[in-house]
Structures are given as structure tokens and as C-alpha cells.
Amino acid sequence: MIDWKDKREFWIAGARIADPEAERIRVGSVCVQKGRIAEIVWQKSVETDLPVLDAERFVLAPGFVDLHAHLREPGYEEKETIETGSAAAAAGGYTSVVCMANTNPAIDDPSVVEYISCRAQQVGRCRVYVAGALTKGRLGEIINEYYHLKRAGVVALSDDGAYVTNSQVMRSALEYANLHALPVISHCEDAFLASSSQMNEGYTSTRLGLKGSPAAAEEIAVSRDCMLAQLTGARLHVAHVSTAGAVELVRRAKKKGTRITAEATPHHLTLDDRLLDGYDANLKVNPPLRGVKDVEALRAGLLDGTIDCVATDHAPHSEIDKDVEFDEAPAGMIGLETAFAQLHTELVAKGVIDLLDLVKLMTIKPAATLGLPGGRIAREAPADLVLIDPAEEWTFEKRLIRSRSKNTPLVGARFTGRVQGVFLEGKWQSAV
């Protein structure tokens, strides 16, 4: 589209500016200088000597913030690297992502945090924030040295991919995390109930003869962690909420004043377990796609604020990993490149939420959830911006995928609304 890479000082003129803080979408123009937003004026055109990008067709919003991505490096570079993961993020409109700790080695040591931060900076396509592991090796037994992890720059703590089974360990983890003002992100799933499950437990799993994971596996885990958050006063963030019961538990905990937040993924908000009929391993995710009622409850949770934000749980797996018997395939799908288009198509275009709500759920709300900078469009803020054509109709094709892995059930999907690219500190990266 636009060859805008080398311009460092310019105007983006006439865009519909989605400002999640001011809660409005309004036509205006933005001046970018030295990587920052130098000025915003509420007029369609500007008189200037600087180059002008005519953005009348587009919506300009703060770059998206993802609280939950698996970038796989170090250790699983055949699935994803910081470079390919950052490129996928930028192509999806993200300028900030938080990467999860289930790498090899796990992010349980400051040296791993430093490695990831340095590598992300070298690549320079997206800001990468790091979630440190809650326990050593993510084994759920011994808590890490949070002081050192925090000094190395972690923004949250999580054993994501695994639930901390031992309640005493989780209590200590929450208490120490709280001392260091670090939020704890919990992957809520009772490991015994969910053991060797392939999908959601229900009508479809019975019909397909696949072992299911009951909603109770998630809800028991969410209940316990809500109670422990209340007991300790610590900040708890529930990752990938997927059941109606879990939404209700978070709602009640919030009412009681527990310091809890929650996220939902684009796939849990738009897909349900009936799709597994064709045994497509790309639909095998953890927590599994649930029933229609759960999808409805998640959407209601988005609308009433029980669910604070959208997070992708971008989980790359290589083709050889996934191209096996359904039972053997690892769980996870990629999501960074389709999150906006999928949600815009299924929720905004169908009138469930409006565009500004979606922008909030992908910018200021996730940023506020973990206390990250970003998600704002304001004078002096870094020029981390996304340019969107909300009217473009397009087909998501495999050849477009920037991620090293292609495990998504959405290849061939028709979308309305497309990210055109991002400015990261004013530097343009095209997505089309």
C-alpha cells in the first residue's frame, strides 16, 4: 500500500481517529515527529511542509496490546521466533505483546528475560514485554525469585500452560508477587479433570468419541484462585476464560472487591465445539472451544465489563506437530494476525459491540490490566498506531501468514475489516 517506511516526520491526515481514552471516534489529523505524536488536530486536512499521508479511508487507533502470546524462543524456534512472532504481531496491528514463560528454558531466570528483551529490541518490529514464570521450571513446586525477575523487567508472573496444582504454592506465589507489585496470570484448569482431554466435554465430544474436559475443570480452578486472590489481596488475572460458569465466578469476585481481571480470546468469542466435527487439529486449543451458551456468556461478559480485554493466546505449532492423529496433536492456534479481523467481522459488523468498544478491548484495557504503557493516542505519547480499513473485505490466505507456524482454522475465512499496518514509534510496517 503506502511506502511510508523512511519518513520520520509526517502528518496522517483525515483519518477517523479512535481514541479509547476520550471514548470517541472523530475525524482528525496526527503529526508524528521523532517517533512521538507531536500534535493532534480535529480537522480533515492540514497545511504543512511535511509529507502528508492521506488517511481518509482509514481508522487510526492506538497500536493493539496483546497480553498473551507464545513467541516460543528460546527453545522452540521451529514453531516461532521473536522475529517471526513480532512480524506476525505487527501484521495483526499489535505494537505491544506480552510473551509467556513456557519456553525452554522457561523464563524463570533474569538471563532469559534479558535475552528476550534484547532480541526483541534488535528485531524492532513490536514491543515485547515478558511474563516471568511463577515457579521454577513451571513445575508448580518452588516459587521463583520475583525480586530478580522484576529487576530484569518482567511485567507479570505466570506458569501459563500449566495450573499451579498445589494451593499452598499458589498462595505463596500470590503473596510474594504482591510484595513486588506484580500481577499473577493464572491458566485455570484442574489438571486431573482435564487430563488427556481432546476437546470440550459435551454432546459433540460424546458423538466423536473424544475425551472431553468438563467446564468444571476450569471453574474449580477459577474458584480457588479467586479465593486465594481474596485471601492474599494480590492481583490476579485469569487467562483465556472460556466457560459461562467461569465468567460468572469472575463477575462475583469483582463484586466482592477482589483484585481480579480476566481476558477472553478471539477464538473462544467466535467459535464453538461443534466445529470439531471434522477433526481439524487446528481447532484443538487449550482451554477447548466450548458450547454455544459459553460463547454467549463470554460476549455478555465483554459487554458488562466482567471480561476486561481480548488476548490472543497466539500458540504456534509447526505443521509436523499438528499433522498427526488428533489425540497426538498439541493444543493451540495462532491468532495475532487474525484477532482484529475475526472480532470485527463477528462482533462489530454483526452489531454485538461497536468499533470503539473493540478498540478499547484491544488497547487501553489490556494495557491497564497489566499496567503497561501504550494503548493511548495522545500528544507526546509514542507514535504506536494502527491503521485500519474497516470496510475492506478480504480472504485470509496461508501465503499471507507471517508467523513461522500456520496452525489456524481460519485459512480461507472471509473477513470484513483489515489492518493495513502499524507505526511503531512512527516507523511504518505494512500488513498488506
Q: What is the 3-state secondary structure (H, E, C) of 255-307?
A: HCCCCEEEEECHHHHHCCHHHHHHCCHHHCCCCCCCCHHHHHHHHHHHHHCCC
Choices 137-145, 160-168, 243-251, 352-360; region in contact with Zn ion by CB under 5 A: 160-168
CB of 217 to Zn ion, least distance (A): 13
- Residue 19 within binding range of Zn ion, rule CB under 5 A: no
Map grid coordinates 505494537 to a residue: 95
d(CA 363, CA 23): 12
Restricted to residues 268-307, the positions that interact with Zn ion (CB under 5 A) are none
Which residue in the shown chain puts its C-beta closest to Zn ion? 187
CB of 85 to Zn ion, least distance (A): 16
CB of 278 to Zn ion, least distance (A): 24
Calculate the alpha carbon distances from 382 to 58, 373, 387 in Å. Answer: 20, 9, 15
Residue nearer to Zn ion on the CB measure, 239 or 424: 239
Catalytic residue flag (residue 159): no
- Residue 263 within binding range of Zn ion, rule CB under 5 A: no
Restricted to residues 88-117, the positions that interact with Zn ion (CB under 5 A) are none
Identified binder of Zn ion from the candidate list 83, 160, 190, 273, rule CB under 5 A:
160
Restricted to residues 166-205, the positions that interact with Zn ion (CB under 5 A) are 187
Residue nearer to Zn ion on the CB measure, 169 or 364: 169
d(CA 66, CA 386): 14
CB-CB contact of 97 with 129 (8 Å): yes
CB of 161 to Zn ion, least distance (A): 5
Calculate the alpha carbon distances from 151 to 69, 129, 159, 160, 369 in Å. Answer: 22, 13, 19, 21, 20
Collapse the DSSP code of 78 into the 3-class scheme (helix H, G, I; strand E, B; otherwise coil) and give the result.
coil
How many chain residues touch Zn ion (CB under 5 A)?
3
Residue nearer to Zn ion on the CB measure, 17 or 99: 99
Rg (CA), the chain: 21
CB of 315 to Zn ion, least distance (A): 8
Within 8 A by CB and 6+ apart from 384, the residues are 62, 63, 95, 96, 127, 374, 422, 423, 424, 425
Restricted to residues 227-246, the positions that interact with Zn ion (CB under 5 A) are 239
d(CA 221, CA 217): 7
Choices 15-23, 157-165, 214-222, 265-273; region in contact with Zn ion by CB under 5 A: 157-165
CB of 28 to Zn ion, least distance (A): 39
Restricted to residues 118-147, the positions that interact with Zn ion (CB under 5 A) are none
Active-site residue identified among 225, 313, 321, 357? 313
- Which positions lie near Zn ion, rule CB under 5 A? 160, 187, 239
Catalytic annotation, residues = 313
